[in-house]
Amino acid sequence: MAQYDMVLRAHRLLTSGREEPGCVGVIDGRIAAVEPLDSRLEGRRVVDLGRTSSCSPGWSTPTCT
Protein backbone atom coordinates (compact mmCIF):
# COMPACT_ATOMS: atom_id res chain seq x y z
CA MET A 1 0.00 0.00 0.00
CA ALA A 2 1.36 3.42 -0.98
CA GLN A 3 2.15 5.73 1.88
CA TYR A 4 2.74 8.82 -0.32
CA ASP A 5 1.36 10.12 -3.61
CA MET A 6 4.90 10.38 -4.97
CA VAL A 7 8.37 9.53 -3.73
CA LEU A 8 11.56 11.02 -5.20
CA ARG A 9 14.72 8.98 -4.62
CA ALA A 10 17.93 10.95 -5.05
CA HIS A 11 21.57 10.05 -4.51
CA ARG A 12 22.22 13.81 -4.31
CA LEU A 13 19.57 15.33 -2.04
CA LEU A 14 20.48 18.88 -1.01
CA THR A 15 19.04 19.85 2.39
CA SER A 16 20.22 22.23 5.12
CA GLY A 17 23.51 22.87 3.35
CA ARG A 18 24.28 19.16 3.05
CA GLU A 19 24.35 16.79 0.11
CA GLU A 20 23.44 13.20 0.89
CA PRO A 21 21.33 10.35 -0.51
CA GLY A 22 17.67 10.64 0.44
CA CYS A 23 13.98 10.27 -0.33
CA VAL A 24 11.26 12.91 -0.47
CA GLY A 25 7.67 11.83 0.21
CA VAL A 26 4.92 14.02 -1.29
CA ILE A 27 1.22 14.10 -0.33
CA ASP A 28 -1.27 16.42 -2.06
CA GLY A 29 1.59 18.31 -3.75
CA ARG A 30 3.39 19.09 -0.49
CA ILE A 31 6.55 17.66 1.01
CA ALA A 32 5.48 15.34 3.82
CA ALA A 33 8.79 13.59 4.57
CA VAL A 34 12.51 13.80 3.89
CA GLU A 35 14.27 10.57 4.87
CA PRO A 36 17.53 8.71 4.21
CA LEU A 37 17.65 6.80 0.92
CA ASP A 38 17.62 3.44 2.69
CA SER A 39 14.31 4.27 4.46
CA ARG A 40 12.50 2.89 1.39
CA LEU A 41 9.49 5.21 1.44
CA GLU A 42 6.59 3.85 -0.65
CA GLY A 43 4.49 5.88 -3.06
CA ARG A 44 1.91 5.47 -5.82
CA ARG A 45 4.53 6.96 -8.11
CA VAL A 46 8.25 6.50 -7.43
CA VAL A 47 10.82 8.54 -9.35
CA ASP A 48 14.46 7.45 -9.12
CA LEU A 49 16.64 10.41 -10.02
CA GLY A 50 19.73 8.23 -10.42
CA ARG A 51 23.28 9.07 -9.41
CA THR A 52 23.89 12.13 -11.60
CA SER A 53 20.76 14.20 -10.83
CA SER A 54 20.21 16.25 -7.70
CA CYS A 55 17.10 17.32 -5.81
CA SER A 56 16.65 20.40 -3.58
CA PRO A 57 13.30 20.06 -1.76
CA GLY A 58 11.81 22.87 0.27
CA TRP A 59 12.61 25.82 -1.97
CA SER A 60 9.67 27.91 -3.20
CA THR A 61 9.62 25.50 -6.15
CA PRO A 62 11.26 22.10 -5.49
CA THR A 63 14.09 21.67 -7.97
CA CYS A 64 15.29 18.40 -9.41
CA THR A 65 17.90 18.41 -12.18
Domain ranges of the chain: 4-53
What is the spatial distance between Cα 26 and Cα 44, in angstroms, rounded to a whole number? 10
pLDDT tens digit sequence for 9-57: 999 988 877 889 999 999 998 999 999 999 979 999 999 988 888 787 7
Whether residue 62 is predicted with pLDDT greater than 80 in this model: the reply is: no
CB 11 within 8 A of CB 48: no
Whether residue 58 is predicted with pLDDT greater than 70 in this model: the reply is: no
| CA R_g for the chain | 11
- Considering the segment(s) 4-53 as one domain, its CATH architecture is Roll (2.30)
Predicted TM-score (pTM) of this structure: 0.79
Whether residue 60 is predicted with pLDDT greater than 90 in this model: the reply is: no
Q: Kindly provide the residue ranges of all beta strands, DSSP E only, lying in the chain, ordered along the sequence.
A: 4-15, 18-27, 30-36, 43-48, 55-56, 63-64
What is the spatial distance between Cα 1 and Cα 40, in angstroms, rounded to a whole number? 13
